[in-house]
Amino acid sequence: MESFYNPFKNRYPNRTKIILSKDEHALKLINEHKTKNLSKNLDSLNDNNKKLNLFVKGEKLSEKDTNFPEKFTSYGKIPEQIQKNINNMGLQILTPIQKLFFGYLFNNGNKFFDNNEFKNNYDLVGCAQTGSGKTLAYLIPSISFLFNDEEGILEIPKFKSSNNHKFISYPLILIILPTRELALQTYDECLKLLYKTYINTVVVYGGEKIYSQKNEIQEGCDIIIGTTGRLIQFLEEGDISLTQVKFLIIDEADKLLDMGFEEDINHILYDFKWSEYYNIFLTSATFPRKVLNMVERIMNDEKYSFITHGNYLGEKEDANGNVKQRFYLIKSDYNTNIFDKKINALFGLLKLLDGKTLIFANKKNDVMEIVSRIQNYGYGIVGLIGDMDMKERKFSLNEFKDGNVNLMVASDVASRGLDIPEISYVINFDMPPNIDIYVHRIGRTGRVGNQGNSFTFLTREDNFLFRPLFELLSKTNQKIPDFLRY
């Protein structure tokens, strides 16, 4: 019998049946999390060179004012079952970005949990490197808030849609992400966190048939995670109402804009009816001007707060200092084309490496050609490109994540946000077209403070990026090849 108040048990019909089936999968995920023994080098994440800042409604708090507790168990407003789930996942110490999120939201006189104070006063922007724990930083406080139901925020309207046989879902949390893989990854994090809480989470994304997702939504859900296109489809068809949303979470905001989803986000924000009061959590690894413009447009400038770890408004993301970066200049000649020379270099490099390796190429056709060539050398390898159907993408990703193969070649569909554990090496078969993408790619290794390694093949055609690479390496005290100095 639960020892904490649970307002979710009767929010929708068939709640128990739906939740029990998801809890079975959640328990499996929790057990997998424990067996993988993912180490978190928090000493590296707490590096004093990575400045940690909290600006509350424009005013920077002092170091003394941000000396928040660093253990999950220090935050009593986290519901008991969620604390148990956190402990079962082997999590004890907060990452720096989590500590600021929790400290600001949980320790602020607990006003965050007062429904009268809540009204649009806690919009929060978080900026930190990939792999720093941003997902749990926004999930745990927003979910914990929902257990405070003094004003009946969880009550659902007694309303059916026009065809008079399906229920409309009234989610309390809406999470928007740029890709299917990121949506599924965040969904799994939710399931682990929400084991035995009776909170129902649904994930929606394109690339699969809509019917099963529609049926799941019509059963009623509390948290919806999704990509913009499929979310808009359900909103326009009346399957989802936003009139009870308490938290809008926009994750990987810079990637959403890079991928051209600004119009979709505007459509969701301005063309559907929302609840009278809701808070926005927006996170990103970088904050270029276009992200700042979005922040200024969708948030109240006088009310939102801003957290940074190693980054500042308007500045580019620095490369992860935990990644040792190495470069090889591939020279062309009359006898062998550049692609073949890179393949030879790649094969020679792979013979020296022992560990999970992610290889990036710029063109999707080149991705599949690399897979074919490396398979011919007898290696187990998979590819990941945007043109694959969802079943193929899931297969490739799971084979790599589970360690059935140690090599994956990808286009930039995989370059941001995917939480693939224990990647030892990143190889840039091609240098990407700009320095920001390079930073995101090598950020797949050296995550959460662990040591990583990257190797990049350069040609003379990449010389327009030699200077930005030189500056990047200088910032992180890396060895700089002589050919980058000219």
pLDDT tens digits, one per residue of 245-296:
999 999 989 888 888 899 999 999 999 999 888 889 999 877 777 888 888 8
| Of 135-149, 367-381, 451-465, minimum mean pLDDT range | 135-149
pLDDT band at 318 (very low <50, low <70, confident <90, very high): low
* Model pLDDT, residue 209: 84
Boundary residue ending a domain (281, 309, 337): 309
- 146 and 294 assigned to the same domain: yes
pLDDT band at 38 (very low <50, low <70, confident <90, very high): very low
Boundary residue ending a domain (309, 338, 358): 309
Asked if residue 8 is part of any domain, the answer here is no
Read out DSSP for 209-255?
-HHHHHHHHHT--SEEEE-HHHHHHHHHTTSB-BTT--EEEE-SHHH
* Model pLDDT, residue 379: 93
DSSP state of 94: P
420 closest CA partner among 433, 436, 404: 404
* Model pLDDT, residue 359: 96
| Of 27-31, 36-40, 270-274, minimum mean pLDDT range | 36-40
* Model pLDDT, residue 242: 94
Asked if residue 390 is part of any domain, the answer here is yes
Q: Work out the mean pLDDT of the chain and round it to a whole number.
A: 83
pLDDT band at 37 (very low <50, low <70, confident <90, very high): very low
- 263 and 403 assigned to the same domain: no
Asked if residue 480 is part of any domain, the answer here is yes
Range of the domain at 263: 15-309
Which phi and psi (to 5°) does residue 268 adopt? Answer: -65, -40
- 170 and 34 assigned to the same domain: yes
Asked if residue 71 is part of any domain, the answer here is yes
DSSP state of 482: G
Asked if residue 317 is part of any domain, the answer here is no
Boundary residue ending a domain (309, 331, 352): 309
Asked if residue 315 is part of any domain, the answer here is no
- 344 and 273 assigned to the same domain: no
* Model pLDDT, residue 162: 52
Asked if residue 316 is part of any domain, the answer here is no
* Model pLDDT, residue 437: 83
* Model pLDDT, residue 63: 80
Six-digit token string for 344: 């030879």
Six-digit token string for 187: 């969904």
pLDDT band at 86 (very low <50, low <70, confident <90, very high): very high
- 201 and 348 assigned to the same domain: no
Six-digit token string for 346: 């790649």
* Model pLDDT, residue 341: 93
- 420 and 278 assigned to the same domain: no
pLDDT for 302 beyond 50: yes
- 138 and 268 assigned to the same domain: yes
| Of 66-80, 202-216, 313-327, 381-395, minimum mean pLDDT range | 313-327
- 477 and 429 assigned to the same domain: yes
- 161 and 292 assigned to the same domain: yes
* Model pLDDT, residue 300: 60
Q: Which residues contact 85 (CB under 8 A, 6 or more apart)?
A: 30, 192, 193, 194, 195, 196, 197
Six-digit token string for 77: 């407003």
Q: Give the number of residues written for the chain.
A: 486
Rounded to an integer, the average pLDDT of 431-456 is 84
- 115 and 205 assigned to the same domain: yes
- 28 and 126 assigned to the same domain: yes
pLDDT for 156 beyond 70: no
Query: Domain count of the chain?
Result: 2
* Model pLDDT, residue 168: 86
477 closest CA partner among 327, 321, 326: 321
More confident residue, 128 or 89: 89
Asked if residue 5 is part of any domain, the answer here is no
The CA distances from residue 5 to 80, 114, 449, in Å, are 10, 17, 37
Rounded to an integer, the average pLDDT of 453-463 is 93
- 424 and 302 assigned to the same domain: no
Q: Residue 38 sits in a domain of what CATH number?
A: 3.40.50.300
Strand pairing report for 407-410 and 52-56: unpaired
| Of 199-203, 293-297, 342-346, minimum mean pLDDT range | 293-297
The CA distances from residue 156 to 168, 170, 345, 399, in Å, are 10, 7, 61, 41
Most confident of 1-5, 175-179, 393-397: 175-179
